[in-house]
Structure 1
Amino acid sequence: MSIAFIQKYITAYNRFDIEQIVTLSHPEIVFKNISNGQITAGAIGIAAFQYIVRQAAGMFISRSQTMKSTSQSAELTLVDIHHQAVLAINLANGIKAGEKLSLQGQSEFECKDNKIFRLTDIS
């Protein structure tokens, strides 16, 4: 998967462009979000993924992912990500709406039929 394609996805994510995110995703997409070693969200198929993307968008006033580095194998593209966001809601862990988050993480992208087929976000 090209870095330019991944950047297109990240740009859509940063702009809250759910339609573009869905357009770039395979109909059978498999998504996982892993935080502190625990799966915190997941979806199989485009409808479930679109639902999660919409939910996640509602959690933030603003958000920005920046690619820091990439590496590729035959099947996976790994992207080190810096994520900054301002929350729109209070979180269960005590972080309040309006507070800023700053996280380092990694996203794993796998392509099928020139679309994102597997996406795993790890922080």
Structure 2
Amino acid sequence: MSTHENLPEVIRKFITSYNEKDVDAMMSCLHREAEFENISNYFAAMNWKGHDSIRALAESSAAAFASRKQTVLMAVVEGDKVALQVEFAGVPLVDLPNGMKAGEATILRGASFFTLKDDKIISLSDMS
């Protein structure tokens, strides 16, 4: 088990970039062949593969929130695999399909699972 201070640098940079809505910095953390999966109680599982697809998602997501912050509550690091318990807080700019309303602060808890390759994130699964 690990605390978030022991997270690989690339994951710390990715979370900081996410919180700052810095899509270019987020993308610099991803392997060229990266895959992202989102599993939620609100939607069926959704998958994105490759930089172009993930960049489009990251840009639209950043634009949909006035503010957002992901906080690591607990981390487990084992080699190239990292599991995080996270808390998401955000204020959407628009009504979202999952029921979030524009201007209403939302807090959710979930888990993120990372796999690293060549000091980059090759796989990310978010569950909420």
Q: Same fold (TM over 0.5)?
A: yes
Residue 92 of structure 1 aligns to a residue whose secondary structure is coil
Contact 1:32–1:39 at 8 Å: present in 2 too?
Answer: no
* Cα distance, 1:58 vs structure 2: 1.6
Partner of residue 108, structure 1: 113
Partners of 1:93 and 1:38 lie apart in 2 by 8
The Cα RMSD (Å) is: 1.8
Structure in which a larger fraction of residues adopt strand: 1
Structure 1 vs Structure 2: percent identity of aligned residues? 33
Counterpart amino acid of residue 84 in structure 2: V
- Please say if 1:79 is aligned against 2:84: yes
What does 1:44-55 align with in structure 2 at a 5 Å threshold?
44-55=49-60
Aligned residue pairs total: 123
Residue 11 of structure 1 aligns to a residue whose secondary structure is helix
TM superposition score normalised by structure 1: 0.91
- Please say if 1:70 is aligned against 2:75: yes
Contact 1:31–1:120 at 8 Å: present in 2 too?
Answer: yes
What does 1:1-123 align with in structure 2 at a 5 Å threshold?
2-36=7-41, 38-123=43-128
| 4+ residue runs over 4 A deviation | none
The answer for unaligned runs of 5 or more in structure 1 is none
TM superposition score normalised by structure 2: 0.88
The answer for unaligned runs of 5 or more in structure 2 is 1-5
